[in-house]
Amino acid sequence: MRTVRKPRATAKRPPELSHEAIRTAALRVIDHEGLEEFSTRKLGRALGCEAMAIYWYYPSKDALLDAVVEKLMAGVGAAVKPKADWIDSLRDVAHAYRRIAHDHPQAFPLLATRRFATEGTYAFLEQLFELARSQGIPDRVTARFYRVVSSYCSGFALNELAAPRGPQDPQTAALRRRFACVDAVSAWLEPQYLDEIFRFGLELQLEALARTTE
């Protein structure tokens, strides 16, 4: 159950703030500080106001994080074009979704761990599902492949974010060399091959979808 906090009587509603300004600043703080370190206190300092003033606009921290998710997903919704082929749109959505992990690596876990719960995110889903229905794709098939593709994208992106960046530390490099097969296969798991691997997995799923809807 989400906790709804009310502003103290002393925390006035700052006229220069807005819902958009707050969630934009929240995303910026998360990008800089990390999700675990994010707090409304730090956000208040970034905005130049009391933390409690934020609750005039968002009744809880959860509501604010939902708004950040909506902001992150806004660009993904642009990939759904009316009258486009649904499979092509799903492909574009998948690539746009993964791109968020590259542009906002600190904030991306929000997408993987929180359910869509705002008007904007529901509007995105409505647009995507309506396109599928207009092309005769049964709702059951739409649901199945939306879940499979979205789970694949989330898992792949989170795996990328968890991978070490830069040169391996000497201890890990020495350990890897002790296992010949691990060392050989891991060479093909380096960052320069991840785009190709992502496309490979995605196309396998989309080809299966195409066969299902024929």
Instruction: Give me the pLDDT at residue 9, please.
Output: 43
Outline where the chain has alpha helix (H). 19-33, 40-47, 61-77, 86-103, 109-113, 119-134, 139-162, 170-177, 180-186, 194-213
Question: 7 φ, ψ to 5°?
Answer: -65, 145
Residues of the chain with CATH 1.10.357.10: 82-213
In 3D space, the residue among 170, 152, 165 whose CA is nearest the CA of residue 191 turns out to be 165
The third-level CATH classification (topology) of the domain covering 82-213 is: Tetracycline Repressor; domain 2 (1.10.357)
Q: pLDDT 10s per residue in the chain (214 long)?
A: 455 555 554 455 666 799 999 999 999 999 999 999 999 999 999 999 999 999 999 999 999 999 999 999 998 988 898 888 999 999 999 999 999 999 999 999 999 898 898 999 999 999 999 999 999 999 999 999 999 999 999 999 999 998 876 667 788 889 888 999 999 998 899 899 999 999 999 999 999 988 887 6
CATH 1.10.274.10 fits 1-59, yes or no: no
Question: What CA–CA distances, in Å, run from 62 to 17, 48, 85, 161, 192?
Answer: 19, 21, 35, 23, 36
Instruction: Give me the pLDDT at residue 212, please.
Output: 80
Question: Which own/partner pairs from 4-9 qualify as long-range (CB within 8 Å, at least 24 positions apart)?
Answer: 4/59, 4/60, 5/52, 5/55, 5/59, 5/60, 6/55, 6/59, 7/52, 7/53, 7/55, 7/56, 8/52
Q: What is the pTM of this model?
A: 0.86
Residues of the chain with CATH 1.10.10.60: 1-59
Instruction: Give me the pLDDT at residue 130, please.
Output: 95
Instruction: Give me the pLDDT at residue 173, please.
Output: 85
Non-local CB neighbours of 51 within 8 Å, separated by 6+ positions? 39, 40, 41, 43, 44
